[in-house]
Structure formats: C-alpha cells, structure tokens
Structure 1
Amino acid sequence: MAVIGMGSQRDEEVLGSLDRVCDHGGRQWWLYLSRCINCQQFWMIAQEERVHDNYCMKRIDARVAAGIVTDAIWPEDFLDFASVLRLERESGQIAQFLDPNCHALVATAHDLSRERPDITFDEIGYLLGIIPSHAATLMALNPW
C-alpha cells in the first residue's frame, strides 16, 4: 500500500507512468485499476479528492487484475470510503480546511453515515481529521 499526495512531485512521477485500465464506477466513484507502462504491474487506486486529496494505491497481481476486468471482482481494500479515509489518516496525509463547515466535509460526513449507519461521531471525526463534536455539527447540517 502507498499513499501519495495529489499535486506532489511523486504524484506526477508515479501516476504519469500508469495507464488507466478500468473504473469501478457507481457508488465507488473513487476506485480504478491502472497498469504501469514500464513494468506492466497492476495497481488498484483510490483517488480521494474530496477530503484529504491523496491517491491510495495497492499493487495487485495479474490474476486479481483479470478478475476485475473480466468479472468486476474487486478486492475489498478500497470498496468503502471509510477505509480509504482511514488509510490516509493512518499515513498522516490529512488536510485541514479553512472553512470548517465546507460542503466537502458535510457531504462526506453524511456519506459515511449512509455507508455505515452505526458509525460514531468519534469515528467520523477521526476519518475527517476533526474533533467528534464538530462531526456532530456537520451531521446536523444539510449536505444539499
């Protein structure tokens, strides 16, 4: 696994060497499969551009890539948005927002709650890099 910040020099170097093979699409709008143009290695990539602005990447073998392409069978690593946010948080690659009630935070808090109705304010706060009481405030705001 690797987490690369968007707009960094590493972002340009690494992602410039990848060709997109297919998108997951649907509810997993952030997820796609790429292949290195140099070594032909496959990478599953979660492009999280809503909160922390990172690419979360996992190298996968050709057999797993074939399952994605032919049968739409994706490994579970990045299938839920909370897992992607958690990986970013644990890597230390998190953002700070000037507007603490911006639409991206409000919408993401609500999406996390829809994705997992039992999620706590503590966990939402952790994933978004905010305190739990602010997560509760975000949930009280209308995302639309």
Structure 2
Amino acid sequence: MDNETACCCSELADIAIIGMGDAEGMDARIFETLDLVRNSGDEKWWLYASTCRACGQNWVVAQEERIHDNYCLRHIDRDALNEIAEHSRWPDDFLTYEQILRLGREAGYVATFLDPKGPALVETAQDLRRARPEISIEDVAYALAIPTKQAERLFRA
C-alpha cells in the first residue's frame, strides 16, 4: 500500500467498530496510515488520538483489548483534535471503559471466554465497579456479554 495516497478512512463510518485481527485485515490496513497525535494517559489507557498521514482525517481511537478485542474509532474535526492536543479535552464518546465494551457488544463484536471466571473478566468487572460504584450486575453482564449469573460470580472470585 502506498501510504502517501491510499488509506481506509473513506471506508469507515464516523463511528466505527473494528475487530482486532479481523479476517479481512481491516485493522492492519487502517492503522498502517494512522499516526499518533496524543495518548490520553494512564487513567484512560485505552484512549488516543491519531491523524491519517494519507488523507489528513483525524480520529479518536479506543483500543479495547481485554474482553472483546475491538478498536472503536470516531472521526473528529481539526478543532476537536486541537482541543485534545492542546488542552487534553476529549470527546465524550469513549471516556469510560464501559462505553467501549458496550459499543463492541452493540456492534456484535463480542468474545466468548472458556473460563467463566477468567482473570480478564474478573479484573474488568472490578474495574467497572470502581469506575461506577453503583453499576448493576445486569450492566456488568451486558458490557461483558455474559449471563447475569456469571457476572455475579465474578465478584465472588
């Protein structure tokens, strides 16, 4: 691929969910031309902004690699990118890990864990509760795409 002229940006919706390692290699093609502008940082480790060096489009990217293995991308304009780069003001779309998990689930990109109490599930359930102490078991189950009974057991692990 010629990085100076070809990219996948025009193939993406304003908000796109892409599975990691998808059969068509879309994730590899997308990230081949995206250059990092800014990471959000430790608190929101999944979040960063990038610009396509081929077409100049700007993206906020959420990299969800613990549960469903998805990239969530949102097209942003130059002003929004400047707010991120200069003032660390991020769009609301991907500010919580719960939002990212829900977007993957709603797009149909979900993982199935063979171990119903796997460490990634337990840790993520605990992270969701730390981020939103009032979160219901049903909301945890929905975000993780698991049955409610299984979500209850994650808090007893």
TM-score category of the 2 structures, normalised to the smaller one: over 0.9
Deviations 1:21-50 (A, max 9, x none): 110012100000010111111000000000
Greater helix fraction, Structure 1 or Structure 2: 1
Tell me which of 17, 21, 29 is aligned to 1:3. Answer: 17
Query: For the residues of structure 2 that align with 1:16 and 1:48, how far apart are their CA atoms?
Result: 18
Deviation (angstroms), 1:17: 1.4
Partner Cα distance (1:116, 1:53) in 2: 22
Structure 2 unpaired stretches of 5+: 1-14
> How many Å separate the matches in 1 of 2:156 and 2:92?
30
Gaps of 5+ in 1: none
Aligned residues: 141
Runs of 4+ in 1 over 3 A off after TM superposition: none
Distance 2:21 2:35 in 1: 18
Once the two structures are aligned, what percentage of the paired residues are identical? 45
Q: Which has the higher strand share?
A: 1
Match of residue 43, structure 2, among 27, 37, 41: 27
Q: Give the distance between the partners of 1:62 and 1:139, measured in 2 at CA.
A: 43
Q: What is the TM-score of this pair, normalised by structure 1?
A: 0.96
- The alignment yields a C-alpha RMSD, in angstroms, of 0.7
Q: Please list the CA deviations of residues 84-138 of structure 1 after superposition, one character each: whole Å capped at 9, or x if unmatched.
A: 1110010000000111111100000000001111111111001101011110100
